[in-house]
Amino acid sequence: MATDQNKFQAIISHCKEYGFIFQSSEIYDGLSAVYDYGQYGAELKKNIKDYWWKSMTQMHDNIVGIDAAIFMHPSTWKASGHVDSFSDPMIDNKDSKKRYRVDHLIEGFAATMNPEEGASLIKEMEQLEAAGDYKGLKDLIDRHKIKCSVSGTANWTDIRQFNLMFSTQLGSVAEEASEIYLRPETAQGIFVNFLNVQKTGRMKIPFGIAQIGKAFRNEIVARQFIFRMREFEQMEMQFFVRPGTEMEWYNYWKEERLKWHKSLGINPERLRFHNHTKLAHYANAALDIEYDFPIGFKELEGIHSRTDFDLKNHQELSGKKMQYFDPEINKNYIPYVVETSVGLDRTVMMILSEAYEEQDLSTEEKQDSRVVLKFPAKIAPIKLAVFPLTKKDGLPEIAKTIMDQGRPHFRCFYEEKDAIGKRYRRQDAIGTPFCVTVDHQTKEDNTVTIRYRDTMEQERIGIDQLIELVNRKIAE
Ligand SMILES: Nc1ncnc2c1ncn2[C@@H]1O[C@H](COP(=O)(O)OP(=O)(O)OP(=O)(O)O)[C@@H](O)[C@H]1O
């Protein structure tokens, strides 16, 4: 097996070669940390989105979905704390002009020390970070003579705060225009609509509001393919609960979300919880669900107990009540919130990492290999490929009637070019779970050969059973 870094590079190349993910604006040499989803990537991503949406809303009577705008009133980000504290300390090397996140720079250096010294350096860094002591952090970098990997020098600027929000102007004339932000998280669209949804939907606590949408962060160090992007998509759900019950729901949702990832066929050994010891300003408990990507265990989803922080601040800044009357205890209160927030692009990356396999199929007679994406059928971009064995003898016509039958149910793909073996390989490479071949026997008995992607086994089945079989496998 290739090393993990090699696997990571192989996945990136595969995504480009087979129409999953392209660098944005590639003809202009690309835009850093921005990516476009191609024809199969877009289908895969949409299927994951639909699966999440269904499992959150349709499967929970007390969770509804909304679709809020990306632009929000600027006060939103004041109330949420993003204007004042959504920033990372960064530092520039004066010789190479390379910019680093201070924690990444120190962590990278700590990894080269012996484990004990490394751990003590990290601890010291965390204390200084928590105290907001930038001078102390700079001293730490100077004391250890930490160098830039490009210039090899320790010639650093001072440490500065770098706000990660993108801003732009709303309105046409400069004097009239006001500065607004591209949302850095989807959650605030849910909070500001909390009462709209609660009242119009007559929702009773506990209940949830779910949303899928784009978020934007001007990440200082954006790399590692779609793991850290400047424009990305989040699938978030805010669950509103009675104060004092939040830990119960926090524990419930962390297990539910782990189950969801497993239901996508993810090997449980590659999933784990990571409890936060350093809590964000809004949280009284937080953890990450991490996945063992080819680049190591990293955050996939955050589960946060956000207290009443957001609603309380919106109430204060807007002057509008954000309270709920709880008829069971006959009391008004600002609900507490438990949030599940998963990156859609990181989920795509997890699915690709899990599905990608290079297989050596060589026999004594001949060398052979294939790349296969073993997606669960329910999220595969194409579910069924239909091949006539030859272009003549009426076989394409029969194949096209199968396409007509399948198309209303799921995404199908028709191909008549090249040998069947080659056509199978191309479908393996985009993760199509089922291929059927129409041959001369089909004309006699209305049966086709169905070939299964993972086992490569083939069997003959009646055309009249085909759609039902594929539908059954998708529903599994
Ligand atoms: N720059 C990004 N690119 C892609 N996905 C992201 C990015 N930032 C956050 N996400 C996704 O959104 C989810 C929730 O956002 P959250 O604010 O909790 O992330 P975070 O803790 O800031 O992430 P990280 O520590 O990796 O920067 C993350 O778990 C991740 O899956």
Of the candidates 236, 214, 228, the residue with the CA atom closest to the CA atom of residue 341:
236
Reported ipTM: the value is: 0.98
Q: In terms of domains, do 228 and 349 share one?
A: yes
**Which ligand 1 atom is the nearest neighbour of the CA of 222?**
1
232 neighbors 196 (Cβ within 8 angstroms): no
pLDDT in tens, 41-62: 999 999 999 999 999 999 999 9
- Among candidate residues 200, 170, 203, 210, the one with its CA nearest the CA of residue 76: 170
For residue 169, tell me if it sits in a domain.
no
Residue 229 CA, closest ligand 1 atom number: 3
Residue 80 lies in a domain: no
- In tens, the pLDDT along 91-148 reads 999 999 998 999 989 999 998 999 899 989 988 998 888 788 899 999 999 999 999 9
Phi, psi of 18 (to 5 degrees): -110, 20
How far is Cα 206 from Cα 333, in angstroms, rounded to an integer? 13
Q: Where are the alpha helices (DSSP H) in 264-381?
A: 309-318, 344-355
CATH number at 54 reads 3.30.930.10
Ranges of the chain with pLDDT below 50: 1-2
Is the separation of the CB atoms in 413 and 453 below 8 Å? no
Give me the phi and psi of 65, to 5 degrees please: -110, 150
> Could you say which of 353, 373, 392 is where a domain stops?
353
Question: Cα–Cα distance between 28 and 283 in angstroms, integer?
Answer: 42
Query: Which residues define the annotated binding site for substrate?
Result: 101, 185, 232-236, 339-343
Q: Evaluate whether 276 touches 156 at the Cβ level (below 8 Å).
A: no
Question: Does residue 374 lie within any of the structural domains?
Answer: no
356 CA to middle of ligand 1, Å?
23
Residues 48, 265: contact at Cβ < 8 Å?
no
* Nearest CA residue ID for atom 2, ligand 1: 228
Distance, in Å, from the CA atom of 40 to the CA atom of 47, rounded to the nearest integer, reads: 11
Which of 341, 348, 353 most suits a substitution to test ligand 1, by most atoms within 8 Å of the C-beta?
A: 341
Tokens for 108, please give them: 């990278």
Q: How far is the CA of 392 from the centre of ligand 1 (A)?
A: 53
Mark whether 159 and 199 lie in a shared domain: no
376 part of a folded domain: no
pLDDT of amino acid 279: 79
Instruction: Check residue 177 and give its pLDDT.
Output: 63
CATH number for the domain that contains residue 92: 3.30.40.230
d(CA 358, CA 257): 30
Residue where a domain terminates, one of 332, 353, 374: 353
Ligand 1 centroid to Cα of residue 54, in Å, is: 22
**For ligand 1, is residue 233 a contact (CB within 6 Å)?**
no
290 pocket-lining for ligand 1 (C-beta < 6 Å): no
| Residue finishing a domain among 353, 374, 408 | 353
C-alpha 103: how far from its chain's center? Answer: 23
The whole domain housing 405 covers 382-475
Alpha carbon distance 305, 106 (integer Å): 29
C-alpha closest to that of 268 among 258, 254, 257: 258
Domain containing 441 — which CATH number?
3.40.50.800
300 Cα: distance to centroid of ligand 1 (angstroms): 7
Please give the tally of structural domains in the chain. 3
